[in-house]
């Protein structure tokens, strides 16, 4: 018998100063969901009074944020998400909520747990006979430094590759814009659909905004393929949505904002991604 079943069936949990503690029951979940549906998120301390729950505000908020929220992404952390976690952790450290903001549908708690079980151990120095904590600390620090160096190296390589691609994109984009302007100015309607630029979000937007009769849906979809950070190709056929993937692409290159003003398409993507962060 599963824990959820047991708690749901028998209503386990302790009472502390009038507040229930421990695992949530299905009935409590229902009450909380109903409360949020009617009153919205926030005012967590009113939940007990308004929803008839014997839970404190903290507990309610936690349950909602980590488990009941409808936009939560269920299932295992994907390799792509994992690489984002690694990257963000290298940058932000244990700022789980910050990291979580870059992974829509994932909670800070989830990421924190994932990190602890998957990476925490790996960063620990290998056990040796020395009880010298300073030595261990130094070793740990060096390992972390090396890990960071490695990450930076990888980023650098990626950056160079992307900058090269961006140059090509921009050239392409300019050509494309001219064509569009010309066509909008009443020139002869284009008989063949112009090739959309590489920028995935841009392509999607334009494909939506402009009708291209000779472009099949399949062709438009295939335009959304782009290399993922781990070298694999992520396509529209993956279980994550293209829009989300696009956001990642933008988030991966935040450094570009300061360093590469020429990358207008990127900057544009950032502005698109910002509301989700």
Residues that bind DNA (CB under 7 A): 1-3, 6, 13, 16, 20-24, 42-45, 57-59, 61-63, 66-67, 76, 94-98, 108-110, 112-114, 116-118, 121
Nearer to DNA, 118 or 142 (CB): 118
CB 56 → DNA: shortest distance, Å?
8
CB 144, min distance to DNA, A: 14
Q: Tell me the closest approach of the beta carbon of residue 277 to DNA, in angstroms.
A: 11
DSSP state of 15: E
Report the interhelical angle of 108-115 vs 79-92 (nearest 10°): 90
Secondary structure (H, E, C), 154-168? HHHHHHHHHHHHHHH
In this complex, which beta carbon is closest to DNA, that of residue 111 or of residue 246?
A: 111
H helical segments located in 45-132: 47-51, 57-63, 79-92, 96-101, 108-115, 121-123
| Closest C-alpha among 242, 269, 240, 238 to residue 253 | 269
Q: CB 31 → DNA: shortest distance, Å?
A: 13
Residue 266 CB, nearest distance to DNA (Å)? Answer: 26
Q: Which is nearer to DNA, 109 or 143 (CB)?
A: 109
Q: Nearer Cβ to DNA, position 6 or 261?
A: 6
CA distance linking residue 200 with residue 220, whole number of Å: 10
With beta carbons less than 8 A apart as the criterion, state whether 100 and 107 touch: yes
CB 179 within 8 A of CB 194: yes
Toward DNA, which CB reaches closer, 114 or 248?
114
């Amino acid at each position: 018998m599963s824990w959820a079943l047991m708690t749901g069936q028998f209503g386990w949990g302790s009472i502390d100063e009038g507040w229930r503690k421990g695992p949530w029951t299905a009935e409590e979940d229902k009450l909380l969901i109903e409360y949020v549906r009617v009153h919205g998120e926030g005012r967590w301390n009113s939940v007990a009074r308004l929803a008839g729950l014997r839970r404190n505000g903290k507990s309610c908020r936690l349950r909602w944020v980590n488990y009941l929220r409808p936009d939560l992404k269920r299932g295992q952390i994907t390799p792509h998400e994992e690489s984002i976690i690694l990257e963000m952790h290298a940058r932000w450290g244990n700022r789980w909520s910050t990291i979580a903001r870059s992974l829509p549908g994932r909670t800070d708690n989830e990421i924190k747990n994932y990190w602890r079980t998957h990476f925490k151990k790996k960063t620990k120095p290998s056990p040796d006979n020395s009880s010298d904590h300073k030595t261990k600390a130094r070793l740990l620090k060096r390992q972390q430094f090396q890990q960071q160096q490695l990450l930076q190296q990888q980023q650098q390589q990626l950056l160079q590759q992307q900058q090269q691609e961006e140059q090509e994109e921009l050239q392409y984009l300019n050509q494309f814009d001219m064509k569009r302007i010309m066509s909008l100015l009443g020139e002869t309607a284009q008989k063949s659909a112009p090739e959309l630029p590489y920028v995935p979000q841009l392509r999607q937007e334009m494909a939506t905004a402009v009708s291209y009769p000779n472009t099949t849906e399949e062709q438009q979809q295939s335009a959304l393929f782009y290399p993922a950070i781990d070298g694999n190709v992520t396509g529209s056929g993956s279980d994550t949505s293209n829009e989300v993937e696009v956001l990642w692409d933008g988030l991966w290159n935040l450094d570009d904002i300061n360093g590469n003003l020429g990358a207008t398409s990127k900057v544009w993507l950032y502005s698109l991604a910002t509301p989700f962060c």
